Structure 1
């Protein structure tokens, strides 16, 4: 006996209308009751919240606010992971959310002097624009992302003593990179590690303007916070984290 799971005859396409109220329970943070911003999941139970909401919660409690499972005894923030797929879905489902969040962040950076001035009319655009994921139905794919140009330079005098050898950090043969604005620091560190055969015992760090970058930061975040209004390419330094 077979069952036909098709809703419509083969070859006929129909539009399915889904009300936002039907999906709200799946895209709303249970801590702030707003739509997910920087959706972040707890690795033990996979419950998801806004990043700032769950970080604030874990500062006073070590348990998941939904199921009460213990996240971590001493360092619960290590057990959080960004859910970028879910965040992209939220931005696609909720009209205006992406644009409003980008404007809010721009104002935040500007109020703290991180955004110096806007690009003058007619001036060449040297960095990623603040565009929306709605402009292309395939915008969730990396190949449709806006691009940013990087220069990956080695920090001077980098070597570390290992039990069996002395490892000296080399310069990349090809230091200029063009990549998606969604690429993370972790992705670049993985590429550098592979290209330079960095031993697994050696920790790498990436810096911009003298600041060590968190592995979860995207190139877009770094551009807005550290490189806005500076000429392309964005200059990043990689170095060995030498144990103290």
Structure 2
């Protein structure tokens, strides 16, 4: 009787232990779906999963460098990227020296022909340091060869080898703020008048002359209209038979008048966006008609 009770108690304990133990499924069965299908995996795939689940490490896959060449070669020089530089408009990457030389002749990307910038394409390129590090790690001895060639280049010309740019640590907020440097170029205080010289035309017979390339000039308020005329004659290469008439508003100016006097006499009518506007025309000199 006691043995029967003990056996029944032990059987109940074993059933409880079996119920508490999670069921173990073989690896091939674990890959099957709840619908009893294989999910498109073959028995060979199952065996590979079994090996990995059993503690085996996956085999390393070797990749040929030629398979990566389309991503690390410059399409201009056909060599490995050196100072990898990316165009921000289209994200195509080239050697820095190659793309800079290319932009001497055109403002379009050499790969996709997109307009990088209407006038200054060099504004829209950036160094890609991460890609360059990847190239140096993939191509054996490329970085060392490049450094050797660079040292030889500067040594042959008697120049100092430039030091590499090392990123500076960002100062903490507790550090004392550095003094901000002012602009390198400062306009002297005596040059207190900005001129806008507008060309109004030339009379027949005044001869050949060069166009005025820069019509914005900053001068002293003590300069006279005569000084402005001499400036125009020199820049436009005018001959002696040509006379320069300078007009401000509706007033024909005299040579002895200073720019400060003109500002005081004519006032705001002579100023446009902070510039003293002077119109000038080229006419025949009265002396040439005698």
TM-score (norm 2): 0.41
Q: Which structure shows the bigger proportion of residues in helix conformation? A: 2
